[in-house]
Amino acid sequence: MQEKEREPLKLLIAEDERPLRALLFEELQDAGREIKLAANGLEALDLLKEEFFDLLITDIKMPGMSGIELLKEAKRLQPHLLVIIITGYATLESAIEALKEGAYDYIRKPFSLEELRVSVDNACARILLEKENRRLLEDLKKAYERLKEVSAIGRETGPEGLLSELERLARLRREGFLEEDEFEAIKKILIEKMK
Question: Of the candidates 57, 75, 77, 72, which has an alpha carbon nearest to the alpha carbon of residue 17?
Answer: 57
The ranges of the chain annotated as CATH 3.40.50.2300 are 9-111
Q: Is the pLDDT of residue 33 over 70?
A: yes
Residues 185, 179 contacting (CB under 8 angstroms): no
List pLDDT tens digits, range 134-143: 888 888 888 7
Pick the CATH number of 9-111 from 1.10.10.60, 3.40.50.300, 3.90.1150.10, 3.40.50.2300: 3.40.50.2300
Pairing assessment for the beta strands 105-108 and 55-59 based on DSSP bridges:
unpaired
pTM: 0.70
Q: How confident is the model at residue 150 (pLDDT cuts 50, 70, 90)?
A: low
Cα atoms in the 13 Å half-sphere on the side-chain side of 156: 8
| Rounded-to-integer distance, Cα 192 and Cα 187, Å | 9
List pLDDT tens digits, range 1-22: 344 567 899 999 999 999 999 9
Residues 84, 107 contacting (CB under 8 angstroms): yes
Most confident by average pLDDT, 39-53, 82-96, 104-118, 180-194: 39-53
φ and ψ at residue 110, rounded to 5 degrees: -75, 135
The reported pLDDT for the residue numbered 111 is 87
Average pLDDT score, the chain:
85
| Rounded-to-integer distance, Cα 14 and Cα 21, Å | 8
* Lowest model confidence (mean pLDDT) among 7-21, 48-62, 117-131, 158-172: 158-172
Residues 60, 48 contacting (CB under 8 angstroms): no
The reported pLDDT for the residue numbered 94 is 81
| Rounded-to-integer distance, Cα 46 and Cα 67, Å | 14
- The secondary structure element, H or E, covering residue 33 is strand 33-38
Q: Is the pLDDT of residue 191 over 80?
A: no
